[in-house]
């Protein structure tokens, strides 16, 4: 599904990713953990196509497509989804019009007709139930006046609406209370299937109690320095990141 080879990226001449390699198979859930400043969010931004980040070396193959050649909207239409760490408020753009435009952009890309109003509303009903997003929130402007938890639920709602092939969750657990964490995780788990992969970026192990990964990677100074099964997350929680750093020093 996703093959990252020797990825180097920088922001304003500061190198952040320094030769990152990662392979995610179809249907797999990978978690990336790591200390602050290790490059976790940079990886998410580079994958989604944020323009402030410059890729200086390496390649990213997404299901047979050279991802780095595409702009952000084309990446999304190819089936990539980024759940933002800080979802953006857009006053005046209704959540539903936004989703309709996004779905139709993808359908057009696939050579399909625009979705009918009836089908769209049915889809909204089904997917919003998944993350317990109330009608009141659905009908408002995008993220405007949403609490932190509501914003994250809205991200998962959008993911469910767009049914991506690969979803990158960038610290989706940050700012969530226990209930919101459970709702968001259940939403993600309901979306897990053989054709869909996840890259879960997180600081804390607690999210991985709910979204159980197939593989865990540790990112440090722009490289993946250790990979292992889901138990690696528990070990990190117990021993801290210094343990890894010492190991590679």
Partner 1 sequence: MSAANDKAHAFVAGLAASEGLAPLAEAGRQAMADLPVPTRKSERWKYSPLTPMLATPVRTATAPEGWPEDVPTNPIPGLDAYRIVLLSGQVVAEACDLPVADGVVCMPLSQAMAEGRIGEGDEDWSAYHTREWVGAVNAAHAQDGLFLSLDAGVVLDRPVLVHHHTIGDNVASCPRHRVHVGANAQAEVVLWSSAPEGASGMVNAVLEGKVGAGARLGVDKVQHEQGAVFHLAHEHVTQGKDSTFRIHTVTVQGHWVRNELNVLQHGSGSHTIMHGAYLPKGQEHVDNHTTMDHTVPHCTSSELYKGILYDRSTGVFNGKVFVREDAQLTNAYQQNANIVVDAGASINAKPELEIYADDVKCSHGCTVGQFDEEALFYLKSRGIADRAARALMVQAFIGDVLEGFGQEEVAQEVEGLLADRHGWM
Please state the closest distance from residue 220 (CB atom) to partner 1, in A.
27
**Calpha distance 135→138 (Å, rounded):** 5
SS (H, E, C) 162-227: HCCCEEEEECCCCCCCHHHHHHHHHHHHHHCCCCCEEEEECCCCHHHHHCCCCEEEEEECCEEEEE
The one among 12, 13, 92, 238 contacting partner 1 by CB under 8 A = 92
**Calpha distance 222→172 (Å, rounded):** 21
Residue 34 touches partner 1, criterion: CB under 8 A? no
Using the minimum distance from each CB to partner 1, give the nearer residue, 47 or 224.
47
Could you give the 3-state DSSP secondary structure of residue 249? coil
**Calpha distance 92→63 (Å, rounded):** 36
Residues numbered 120-159 forming contacts with partner 1, rule: CB under 8 A: 141-142, 158
Using the minimum distance from each CB to partner 1, give the nearer residue, 54 or 89.
89
Give the H/E segment covering residue 73.
helix 72-77
Per DSSP, 86 falls in state S
Residue 55 touches partner 1, criterion: CB under 8 A? no
Neighbours of 229 (CB within 10 A): 10
| Structure-block tokens of residue 148 | 């932190």
Residue 241 touches partner 1, criterion: CB under 8 A? no
Binding mask 156-195 for partner 1 (x = CB under 8 A): --x---x---------------------------------
Q: Which stretch binds partner 1 (CB under 8 A): 22-30, 79-87, 200-208, 233-241?
A: 79-87
The one among 11, 55, 70, 93 contacting partner 1 by CB under 8 A = 93
Residue 115 touches partner 1, criterion: CB under 8 A? no
What is the binding site for partner 1 (CB under 8 A)? 48-51, 71-73, 75-77, 81-82, 84, 87-93, 97-99, 101-102, 105-106, 109, 141-142, 158, 162
């Amino acid at each position: 599904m996703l093959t990252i080879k020797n990825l180097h990226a920088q922001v304003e001449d500061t190198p952040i990713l320094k030769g990152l390699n990662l392979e995610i198979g179809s249907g797999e859930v990978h978690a990336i953990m790591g200390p602050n400043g290790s490059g976790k969010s940079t990886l998410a931004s580079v994958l989604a196509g944020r323009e402030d980040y410059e890729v200086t070396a390496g390649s990213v193959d997404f299901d047979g497509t050279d991802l780095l050649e595409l702009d952000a909207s084309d990446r999304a239409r190819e089936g990539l989804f980024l759940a933002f760490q800080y979802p953006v408020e857009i006053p005046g753009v209704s959540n539903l019009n936004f989703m309709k435009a996004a779905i139709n952009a993808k359908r057009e890309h696939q050579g399909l007709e625009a979705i009918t109003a009836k089908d769209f509303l049915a889809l909204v009903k089904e997917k919003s139930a998944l993350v317990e997003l109330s009608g009141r929130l659905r009908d408002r402007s995008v993220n405007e006046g949403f609490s932190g938890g509501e914003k994250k639920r809205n991200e998962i709602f959008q993911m469910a609406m767009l049914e991506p092939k690969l979803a990158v969750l960038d610290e989706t657990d940050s700012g969530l209370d226990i209930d919101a964490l459970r709702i968001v995780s259940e939403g993600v788990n309901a979306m897990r299937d053989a054709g869909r992969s996840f890259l879960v970026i997180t600081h804390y192990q607690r999210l991985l109690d709910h979204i159980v990964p197939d593989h865990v990677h540790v990112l440090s100074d722009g490289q993946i320095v250790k990979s292992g099964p889901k138990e690696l997350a528990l070990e990190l929680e117990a021993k801290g990141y210094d343990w890894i750093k010492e190991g590679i020093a």
